[in-house]
Amino acid sequence: MINFNGTLQDNSALYIETNRGFLFGDAVFETVKIVNSKIVFLEEHYLRLMASMRICRMEIPMLLTMEYFEEQIVSLLQALKFVNARVRFTVFRDSEGYYTPNSNDVKFVIMANELNNTFYSFSNEPYEVELFKDFHLSKHLLSTIKTNNKMIHTLAGIFAKENDYQNCLLINEDKNIVEAIQANIFMKMGDVISTPPISEGCQNGILRKQIIKLISKNTNIRFEEKPISPFDLQKADELFLTNVIIGIQPITKYRKKMYVNDFATQLLEELNCLLN
């Protein structure tokens, strides 16, 4: 079951033959975590969706308020009887035309998958990453939002799977580290925590902002946004990934370098306090 533009219906009832999100990737989306029937970071997700629609020159309907955004997600969850879930809210341009649309009107579709976990956690299993160098992310505004154009991330995922890595790190045209396939990256070196700035082409992650706030409250740690080179990874004490679904994922190995997860463990406890 899905929510298609405010109507609950079977998945099979959604046609794709003229859907611009399918034909041209002309769509933006939010991936939202639901814990105990509550939308985690509701306002942040809504504001980012509005910003993404403006960047993509989509017409924002008057009815698409934050309250409506929440109501439509909740209605689907109640119909599915999901208490903890992963929700994708996709907005696509609903118009005829080829590359140039005839209008900027939009429709939306909401999908949900049930989750078993409520709070964030991570295992002590090995988590090895490698650079994905076949294609580069661009340092522009479109790279910072969640659109249906994710071919580089998809190819990186295939590369990781074929080579038995748990994830890949994507780079930009300057050969700097941008992000992982589905997460932002943070690096701890001594008493300094750093992450690539948005200007490097990384996702403007919801959890990225929350993690930065938590780190900034720690008087024993200095935080900075700065470009990270592949050489920096070899000198780091810790590397960890963040997104709103997984929370925090420590990296245990990059090439011959092994990492600890002491600070990531501390952050995880603080992050879970935000969910209460």
pLDDT band for position 13 (cuts 50, 70, 90): low
Residue 215 CA to residue 106 CA, distance in Å, equals 38
b/e per residue, 258-267, with b = 16+ CB within 10 A? ebebebbeeb
Cα first-last separation, the chain:
29
With beta carbons less than 8 A apart as the criterion, state whether 54 and 78 touch: no
Question: What value does the mean pLDDT take over residues 182-202?
Answer: 98
Percent of the chain with pLDDT strictly greater than 70: 99
Please report the pLDDT score of residue 39 as a whole number: 96
Which pLDDT belongs to residue 178? 99
259 — alpha (psi -120 to 50), left (phi > 0) or beta?
beta
Kindly state the tokens that stand for 52. Answer: 């993404």
**The CATH number of 128-275 is which of 3.20.10.10, 3.40.50.720, 1.20.1090.10, 3.40.50.300?**
3.20.10.10
Report helix angle 42-55 to 66-80, nearest 10.
120
Sheet with strand 106-114: strands edge to edge = 7-9, 2-4, 106-114, 85-93, 27-35, 38-39
Structural domain spans, the chain: 2-114, 128-275
pLDDT tens, 141-168?
A: 999 999 999 999 999 999 999 999 999 9
Please list the alpha-helical segments (H only) found in 9-163.
20-23, 42-55, 66-80, 151-162
- pLDDT for the residue 20: 87
Residue pointed to by tokens 């990737």: 25
| Share in percent of the chain as helix, strand, coil (round to 5) | 30, 30, 35
Rounded to whole angstroms, the Cα distance separating 138 from 198 reads 11
Summarize pLDDT for 24-58 with one digit per residue, the tens.
999 999 999 999 999 999 999 999 999 999 999 99
CATH number of 2-114: 3.30.470.10
Per DSSP, 115 falls in state -
Is residue 18 scored above 90 in pLDDT?
A: no
pLDDT at 114 over 70: yes
- What is the average per-residue pLDDT within 75-101? 94
**pLDDT at residue number 35:** 94
Tell me the C-alpha distance between 143 and 223, whole Å. 23
Residue 83 confidence class, pLDDT cut points 50, 70, 90: very high
Higher pLDDT, 123 or 226: 226
Find out whether 195 and 225 touch, Cβ atoms under 8 Å. yes
The answer on pLDDT for 117 being more than 80 is no
Mean pLDDT is lowest, of 3-12, 216-225, 241-250, for: 3-12
> Residues of the chain with pLDDT > 90: what percent?
84
